[in-house]
Copies of this chain bind each other. A is one copy, B any other.
Amino acid sequence: MIIKPWKILETSYLHPNIRVDKCELPNGHILTPHILDYDDEIMIFALTRQLEVVLIQQYRHGIQEVILELPGGSVDKGESPLEAAKRELMEETSYASDTFIEVGQASPNPAIYRNRIYSFLAIDAESIGKQSDYDAGAVDVTLIPLDEVVAMARRGELINSLNISTIFFALGHLDRNL
C-alpha cells in the first residue's frame, strides 16, 4: 500500500515557532495540526577517562521537577550540530573533549516537531573551566559511572526520553568499538 502525504491548504502561525497547517488527508478529512518550528537540538553522552558520564541536575518546567539529565540544548543560527554540542557541554558542565562523535540522529516527535536531535558521544571529557554565568546556580554537574548510568536508564531514573535515545546510540557505538 502506498501511504500518501497530507496536502497543506493553508499555513498560519500561533507564535513565531508554533505553526498551524490546515491539511487535507488522503481520505478527505481536514486536520489543523500544530507544528513546533524549533531549531535543531543536540544531546551529549560525555565520558571521562575514568568511564564516568557527565550528568546535570536541572529544573524542567514542563514536568515542574528537578531531574538528572544528559547535557544538551539547541543549535544556534550559523552553528553546526557539532559546534553546538561542544558549546553546550562547556556552558552547562565546564567539560570539554577533543573527540566528539555523532552517534545518531532522530526526530524528537515526527508528528509535531519539524527539527532533528543529534546525539554525540564525547570521549575523555575533562573539566577545563567554569560553567557559563547563565547556567551557574541553575545546573549542578554530577559524574556517575557508565554502568550505573545504563542501569539507571533501564530503571526509568533518567526520565527524559531524548536522553534514552542518546544513550542507546552511544552504547551501540561503544559496543562496536570497544
Binding site for B on A (CB under 8 A): 1, 3-6, 14-15, 18, 21, 23, 25-27, 33-36, 57-67, 69, 104-114, 117, 137-140, 153-154, 156, 159-162, 164-165, 167-169, 172
CB distance from A121 to the nearest CB of B (A): 13
Q: How far is the CA of A159 from the CA of B169 in the complex (A)?
A: 12
Instruction: Give the oligomeric copy count.
Output: 2
A sample of 8 cross-chain residue pairs with beta-carbon separation below 8 angstroms, ordered by A number, consists of A1-B140, A3-B66, A6-B59, A36-B62, A62-B113, A63-B113, A63-B114, A69-B110
Question: Most chain-B CB neighbours within 10 Å: which of A21, A67, A111, A172?
Answer: A111
User: What B residues does A154 contact at CB under 8 A?
Assistant: 168-169, 172
Which residues on B sit within 8 Å (CB–CB) of A112? 61-62
> What is the minimal beta-carbon distance from A176 to any residue of chain B, in angstroms?
8
When distances are taken between beta carbons in the complex, the residues of chain B under 8 Å from A35 are 61-62
- Contact between B59 and A4 (Cβ–Cβ < 8 Å)? yes
Q: Which 10 A-B pairs have the closest CB atoms?
A: A60-B110, A164-B165, A106-B161, A154-B172, A161-B165, A1-B140, A63-B110, A3-B66, A62-B112, A62-B113
